[in-house]
A and B are shown apart, each in its own frame.
Chain A
Amino acid sequence: MAHTGRKDAPEPPDFALLKRLAKDQLIYLLEQLPGRKDLFIDADLMSPLDRIANVTTLKQHEVDKLYKVEFKPVVSVSDQLCFLIRPRIQTVKWIADVVNSDKATGRFRRYKIIFTPQKFYACDTVLEEQGVYGDVTSDEWAFYLLPLDDDIISLELPEFFRDYFLEGDQRWVSTAGSALHLLHSLYGPFSKVYGIGRCAKMVYESWREQVEDGEQKAQQPEIGNVFLIDRDVDFVTPLCSQVVYEGLVDDIFRIKCGSVEFGPEVTSSDKGVKVMLNSQDKVFDEIRNEHFSNVFGFLSQKARSLQTAYDKRRGMDIKQMKTFVSEELKGLKQEHRLLSLHIGASESIMKKKTKQDFQELLKTEHSLLEDFEVRECIGFIEEHINRQVSMIDSLRLLCLLSLTENGLLPKDYRSLKAQYLQSYGIEHLLTFANLRQMGLLVEQQPGEALTAVESKVGKLVNDKTAGKLTDAFSSLAKKSNFRALSKKLMLIPKTGEEYDLRVPRDMAYIFSGAYIPLSCKLIEQVLERDGWTGLEEVTRLLNGHEFAVTGGTSGTEARNKTDPQRIILVMFLGGCTYSEISALRFLGREKGYKFIVVTTAITNSSRLLESLLEYQA
């Protein structure tokens, strides 16, 4: 839609509504168990819950004490126990143990399990098998979506990635469908849905079914278009080191549920501090999407302007001083505090990242992406493994190598694997099995062998009705085809030209101008072409499963004209990185779109690979 020119991106809809809805429902559920009660919360639900209802709110609704689910015997003295958990077998089993041990000691209590976002049949089965089905009541808290920021909504389901892509378990598909349905009913109707990937297709279908079942309200849409994308369409992007500020902070300090804990080395005091990172933080908002090399410039400029603002005090009379103190000072102080925090964080990042090692790591990554001096890269990786620099980083480089080179040569595959095992222990034999299954780290097969596997899998897929199903091992046959894709979509900007990271000219700036993220490029191309026409070769390389559906409403004529049509919801199934979000923000500014990113979880290279480890000591 280049011809529409640069319009200002429209304002995103107000997602605070999602929080209010979730809160109201939670309170309702808590009131279903009248009287005082103790609440046990799954560890990974703590932070999301805190964003919905804080401790005070919970206390108001007769929650006495809060505990984290720790799989230990319960010490609570309350007569009513309420469990707020994800539908995981392990947790349910633990609850069954709690109930049974109470029974054994002749203690009578009331138990209530609130599953969020939904209950699975397996949970009931476990309760039944443990003989406590009748002792426990259960409910569902339909808390699907947590808005992390104006334009980021997370399902907070990091296990989606492993469950779906590795284990072939589709249980979360309908969850994602429901989440989409919720957005549709609040901010829809959507006029056009694009997508790519098997999971995207299933989510789309699950959502359609829910739409058809439900009542349809005619309302003014706030979100026009939707783009669904599977994580396995693009593994390369999340495996690259992030160099945009927000991504770097995530890589180094790990942003959890939109907030980060800065340690003493950042705060330069003896205590760490927890900071929310979102657009409310004015300093952060300005630097989050910047390449790290620009961040210091911004920060020092900011510091100067802050100083000027402070300096205004001089030469004020009493009255001016009074207004200054009451109106501006607080804001300035706040900004001051944040500024010093971010400077601290940047320094800390600098210390870690400007070292020789990191520079060489980046160089290797870029070489791999550009298909340049691959042998030297392998040498570097080998050394990286041998020196035990970092378990995850080595694995990441191996995967990048395999993805960009369409698999490793058998000789390299063996030797690198053997060295890795020597460094980190034989348990990683299982990790390698997982990576192979995912198609992340594979051996280049002599032509024939591969087709044999492919045809076998292909047959399996065809046998089933209408290809509606996923075969758990589909990724076996999957080639990454990165090189071809990169050529087709021109993901690697021409080398030799100077890339000014201060004034980025395309999305490549998020990787220092070396690579345009595949996922974001796809979105850009599809939006520009209003569909997949002209991208046939690309979709073939991506194993197909693309779709573009126009909604029931007369969306086509409204296109390009109204603001909602320029608000685009991008749903990443399996997680997305902050770098991708930055890239989309950049794209939005360039083309006058507003992207809303919905993701099953925020991910980065470490989280992605850690979730694939089989054995954690």
Chain B
Amino acid sequence: MGWNLKDGLRDCLIAAAPYGGPIALLREPQRRSPSARPQLEIYSASGGTLASFPWKSGVVKQLGWTVCDDLLCIQEDGTVLVYDLFGSFKRHFSMGNEVGQSQVVEAKVFHSPYGTGVAIVTGASRFTLATNIDDLKLRRLPEVPGLQGAPSCWAVLTQDRQSKVLVANGADLFILDYGTCTAVSPPGLSPQATSIIHMCVSFSYKYLALFTDSGHVWMGTSNLREKLSEVETKVRNPPRQMAWCRRPKSQQASVVIMWDRYLLVVGVCKDTIPFHFEDDSVLVPELDSVRIINATNHELLQEVPAACEEIFKIASMAPGALLLEAHKEYEKESQKADEYLREIKEQNLLGEAVKQCVEAAGHEHEAETQKTLLRAASFGKCFLSNFSPEPFVSMCRDLRVLNAVRDYTVGIPLTHTQFKQMTVQVLTDRLVYRRLYPLAIEICRYLKTPEYQGVSRVLKHWACCKVQQKEEADEVIARTISLKLGDAAGISYSEIANKAYECGRTELAIKLLEFEPRSGEQVPLLLRMKRSQLALSKAIESGDTDLVYTVVTYLKNEMNRGDFFMTLRNQPVALSLYRQFCKHQEQDTLKDLFNQDDDHQELGNFYVKASYKEKRLEARMSLLQSAVDEYNKAKNEFAAKATEDEMRLLRFQRKLEEDKGEYLLGFSLHDTLSTLLSLGLHKLAEQLYKDFRVPDKRYWWLKLTALADKADWEELEKFAKSKKSPIGYMPFVEVCVKRNNKFEAKKYVSKVTPEQKVKAHLAVGDLEGAADAAIERRNEGEISTVLSRCTPATDRTLVERLNRAKATATKK
């Protein structure tokens, strides 16, 4: 170990993170006098100092590490302080107010798929649990019947997507979840025991070990349905620490129990292995092993992996062992190599042998042994034709990475199994937390991690760290960062800028934002930094309306109305957006907007629109009057005139309502006229026609249709004769025909223009007339039209005449 501890690990609170994580050490936590404060020290797993500082806060009950390498210090009063790897304070939270008086008696930090959790038990024997400290939700667990003071032992379990607490009070066991407290009993627990004094749960939460005052260790599944084994240890004092030591899918699970300087490995198979120590030690349970740390050494205790056992067992005849032997002989240039090789090949096990060697290499920690095994594997591979090189190649890569991080300067002693479980991403994260950027980048490059997951991420972290260096000038930092980051894929300058802003370096943040290629990303931060104008133009530049909207709303609340409108005026996109919002939400604001812009045209439109929402006539009139005024200001005479006409029409309609009781309010001029005509109010209609200068054509059409609808044929005839029709007389014919009055229709046939004669005759069904007209006009097309309407059987003479006429017409 790289550290130099005078007093060993005595009187220390220690927490070591799994997966070869860092170690935190608090000496003499009980000491309170201001003159001699306890010292909090943070070391890497190899004992390299990362941080050391005097502890100035309250009494710490428990230390623990989160999944992202943050240190949790749980104090007596229920406050939890969070520090990073380098001992800088990050934040704090509380485990509940009720903890206050009763104080935390014991606390545990645990990991689950949901993150890192904290569980405490208070002096009042109540448990409080938080499953994920990043999304803090405190759960106060129900009371345990008959429990006074601290329980004899307890553990946190994660089962069925829920965190539960397993508590022992004497010989009784209880499971506490959010709502209930259930008494449970482990099947087949030896009856001599009067109290369970220690317990531990496996890394995967699947297995449970209980230590009783009779010296028995009960091992079983954590759901307490199955007993695996029970072993008597012959030691009755309570152990200092207990941990499961098993690798995934292993057959030889065991529990490691540690008393002062005595360690016992108790297998499920009932075998025990004793170890003696010289020094106080700490057990760190891992996924596939247990690490043992003391003042001088850091050891790994694990079940020997099957592959290694097969190969290195004395006189092993396993294919892997033979292959290793063969390769050794080959190096010596001895023909025995061939013999060994043949032996494997005869059993058809060469593939198996290579696999064993590769796997064993993964479990070995000595680089030399790894190399030997890999060389043997590579040698064996040469004699195989169809063997996938993938496992071999990836193992070589993994080992290279593993050896690099196991180096004492880095100090992350991972096993291959752990590495596979934690993934490269997490490993890079851990390196980044330790600020080992170059190594992290190298690893990412070496393993060809996609840029935005690997190198870019590391660079981003580096940059975020860089902006915190207070001694360097903004200019310099910005330049360094942009130089190094260049345009690595997936770098978000806005995140870095955000970090800079958090550190109070607004200017630097703005400089950094300049590098952000996506303007959309710059906006939220600019807003937070109160650079709203800049934010607005950036938002517009991004073309993302939603973003523009964000800024506009923000500005609206930030600025006074006048300034706000002025700002919008210079940004048409924002303005049109805001207008749309106002249209739905704030009609009055819309008016103000137009007013400020002197947009009289739009104001006019606004009033017209408003008038339609208004039920009362007076209000409607006054709105329309405003519209007229605005249109006049906008020099839109046409609209002004049209609006005035509308007002006149409304007045007329009101008068009509008063005089005749006809409700026509809101009808268009056309509809009003047609209603009047159909009601027979010809005088009024006439008046309207003159007042509004309705075009003659329209009036004639209207009157014609209205009269025909009423079948007032007499009036129609009078009307037709009143003066020369501006729409001709064809419509008269058509209208009559439409109402199936051919008799009336015929009256007008003679009046239509020569061009329409044929059509008119046809319309009333007068074939002969049509024929006469067509022949008279000598129009070939028209003659054909008539012909097509004739039935040869009945109109034979007519057809002949027409054909003759057609012939002459064509000749011409």
B581 interface neighbour in A122, A163, A465, Cβ under 8 Å: A122
Q: A386-B701, A465-B541 are in contact. Are A89 and B581 (CB under 8 A)?
A: yes
Residues of A within 8 A of B682 (CB): none
Give 1 or 0 for each of A413-450: 1 = CB within 8 Å of chain B CB.
01001110111111101100100000000000000000
Q: Check if A481 is an interface residue, CB within 8 A of chain B.
A: no
Q: Check if B692 is an interface residue, CB within 8 A of chain A.
A: yes
Q: A386-B697, A427-B608, A473-B572 are in contact. Are A215 and B543 (CB under 8 A)?
A: no
Give 1 or 0 for each of A124-165: 1 = CB within 8 Å of chain B CB.
011000000000000000000000000000000000000100
Residues of A within 8 A of B537 (CB): 465
Are A424 and B668 neighbours in the complex by a CB distance under 8 Å?
A: yes
Q: Check if B670 is an interface residue, CB within 8 A of chain A.
A: yes
Are A422 and B543 neighbours in the complex by a CB distance under 8 Å?
A: no
Q: Check if A171 is an interface residue, CB within 8 A of chain B.
A: yes
Residues of B within 8 A of A383 (CB): 697, 701, 727
In whole angstroms, how far apart are the Cα atoms of A213 and B580 in the complex?
Answer: 31
Q: Check if A209 is an interface residue, CB within 8 A of chain B.
A: yes
Residues of B within 8 A of A426 (CB): 608, 642-643, 645-646, 668
Q: Check if B694 is an interface residue, CB within 8 A of chain A.
A: yes
Are A422 and B670 neighbours in the complex by a CB distance under 8 Å?
A: yes
B545 interface neighbour in A126, A174, A213, Cβ under 8 Å: A174
Closest CB of chain A to B425's CB: distance in Å? 15
Are A170 and B601 neighbours in the complex by a CB distance under 8 Å?
A: no
Residues of B within 8 A of A171 (CB): 545-546, 549, 577
Are A125 and B553 neighbours in the complex by a CB distance under 8 Å?
A: yes
Are A209 and B668 neighbours in the complex by a CB distance under 8 Å?
A: no
Are A173 and B550 neighbours in the complex by a CB distance under 8 Å?
A: no
Are B584 and A168 neighbours in the complex by a CB distance under 8 Å?
A: no
Q: Check if B445 is an interface residue, CB within 8 A of chain A.
A: no
Residues of B within 8 A of A468 (CB): 541, 543
Closest CB of chain A to B184's CB: distance in Å? 29
Give 1 or 0 for each of A45-62: 1 = CB within 8 Å of chain B CB.
000000000000000000
Closest CB of chain B to A547's CB: distance in Å? 15
Q: Check if A335 is an interface residue, CB within 8 A of chain B.
A: no
Q: Check if B612 is an interface residue, CB within 8 A of chain A.
A: yes
Are B668 and A168 neighbours in the complex by a CB distance under 8 Å?
A: no
Q: Decide if the interface of chain A is mainly helix, strand, loop or mixed.
A: helix
Are A168 and B541 neighbours in the complex by a CB distance under 8 Å?
A: no
Are B581 and A121 neighbours in the complex by a CB distance under 8 Å?
A: no
- Tell me the residues in window 694-717 of chain B with beta carbons closer than 8 Å to chain A beta carbons: 694-695, 697-698, 701, 705
Residues of A within 8 A of B546 (CB): 120-122, 171, 174
- Tell me the residues in window 166-186 of chain A with beta carbons closer than 8 Å to chain B beta carbons: 167-171, 173-174
Best-surrounded residue of B639, B643, B670, B671 (most CB of chain A within 10 A) = B670
Q: Check if B396 is an interface residue, CB within 8 A of chain A.
A: no
Question: For residue A119, which residue of chain B has the nearest CB?
Answer: B546
Interface size range on A against B: 35 or more
- Tell me the residues in window 527-576 of chain A with beta carbons closer than 8 Å to chain B beta carbons: none
Q: Decide if the interface of chain B is mainly helix, strand, loop or mixed.
A: helix
Are A469 and B698 neighbours in the complex by a CB distance under 8 Å?
A: no
Residues of B within 8 A of A421 (CB): 642, 645, 668-669
Closest CB of chain A to B785's CB: distance in Å? 13
Closest CB of chain B to A384's CB: distance in Å? 11
Q: Check if B791 is an interface residue, CB within 8 A of chain A.
A: no
Are A472 and B698 neighbours in the complex by a CB distance under 8 Å?
A: no
Are A427 and B612 neighbours in the complex by a CB distance under 8 Å?
A: yes
Closest CB of chain B to A89's CB: distance in Å? 5
Are A386 and B544 neighbours in the complex by a CB distance under 8 Å?
A: no
Residues of B within 8 A of A293 (CB): none
Q: Check if B518 is an interface residue, CB within 8 A of chain A.
A: yes
Are A167 and B692 neighbours in the complex by a CB distance under 8 Å?
A: no
Question: For residue A423, which residue of chain B has the nearest CB?
Answer: B670
Question: For residue A415, which residue of chain B has the nearest CB?
Answer: B695
Q: Check if A206 is an interface residue, CB within 8 A of chain B.
A: yes
B701 interface neighbour in A215, A387, A414, A460, Cβ under 8 Å: A387
Closest CB of chain B to A94's CB: distance in Å? 12
Are B581 and A168 neighbours in the complex by a CB distance under 8 Å?
A: no
Are A170 and B543 neighbours in the complex by a CB distance under 8 Å?
A: yes
Residues of B within 8 A of A79 (CB): none
Q: Check if B341 is an interface residue, CB within 8 A of chain A.
A: no
Q: Check if B480 is an interface residue, CB within 8 A of chain A.
A: no
Give 1 or 0 for each of A458-501: 1 = CB within 8 Å of chain B CB.
00100011001111110000000000000000000000000000
Q: Check if A388 is an interface residue, CB within 8 A of chain B.
A: yes
Q: Check if A33 is an interface residue, CB within 8 A of chain B.
A: no
Question: For residue A464, which residue of chain B has the nearest CB?
Answer: B540
Q: Check if B609 is an interface residue, CB within 8 A of chain A.
A: yes
Residues of A within 8 A of B694 (CB): 422
Are B573 and A429 neighbours in the complex by a CB distance under 8 Å?
A: no
In whole angstroms, how far apart are the Cα atoms of A614 and B602 in the complex?
Answer: 13
Residues of B within 8 A of A427 (CB): 608, 612
In whole angstroms, how far apart are the Cα atoms of A202 and B543 in the complex?
Answer: 7
In whole angstroms, how far apart are the Cα atoms of A472 and B572 in the complex?
Answer: 7
Residues of A within 8 A of B550 (CB): 121
Residues of B within 8 A of A433 (CB): 601, 605
Are B541 and A419 neighbours in the complex by a CB distance under 8 Å?
A: no
Residues of A within 8 A of B553 (CB): 121-122, 125
Closest CB of chain A to B116's CB: distance in Å? 25
Residues of B within 8 A of A429 (CB): 605, 608, 639, 642-643
Give 1 or 0 for each of B530-562: 1 = CB within 8 Å of chain A CB.
000000010011011111011001000000000
Are A419 and B642 neighbours in the complex by a CB distance under 8 Å?
A: no
Closest CB of chain A to B293's CB: distance in Å? 41
In whole angstroms, how far apart are the Cα atoms of A122 and B638 in the complex?
Answer: 37
Closest CB of chain B to A573's CB: distance in Å? 14
Are B670 and A173 neighbours in the complex by a CB distance under 8 Å?
A: no
Closest CB of chain A to B667's CB: distance in Å? 8
Are B668 and A422 neighbours in the complex by a CB distance under 8 Å?
A: yes
Closest CB of chain A to B297's CB: distance in Å? 46
Are A422 and B692 neighbours in the complex by a CB distance under 8 Å?
A: yes
Closest CB of chain B to A338's CB: distance in Å? 34
Residues of A within 8 A of B705 (CB): 387
A386 interface neighbour in B547, B671, B692, B695, Cβ under 8 Å: B695
Are A386 and B584 neighbours in the complex by a CB distance under 8 Å?
A: no
A–B complex contacts, Cβ < 8 Å, 19 sampled:
A89-B581, A126-B585, A168-B572, A169-B577, A171-B549, A173-B544, A205-B543, A206-B544, A209-B518, A215-B450, A387-B701, A418-B642, A419-B698, A423-B698, A430-B605, A430-B608, A433-B605, A469-B573, A614-B605
Residues of chain A having any CB pair with chain B under 8 Å: 89-90, 93, 120-122, 125-126, 163, 167-171, 173-174, 202, 205-206, 209, 213, 215, 382-383, 386-388, 414, 417-419, 421-427, 429-430, 433, 460, 464-465, 468-473, 614-615
Q: Besides A120-B549, A423-B669, A472-B575, 10 other CB < 8 A contacts?
A: A125-B553, A126-B585, A387-B701, A414-B638, A419-B698, A421-B642, A421-B668, A468-B543, A469-B543, A471-B573
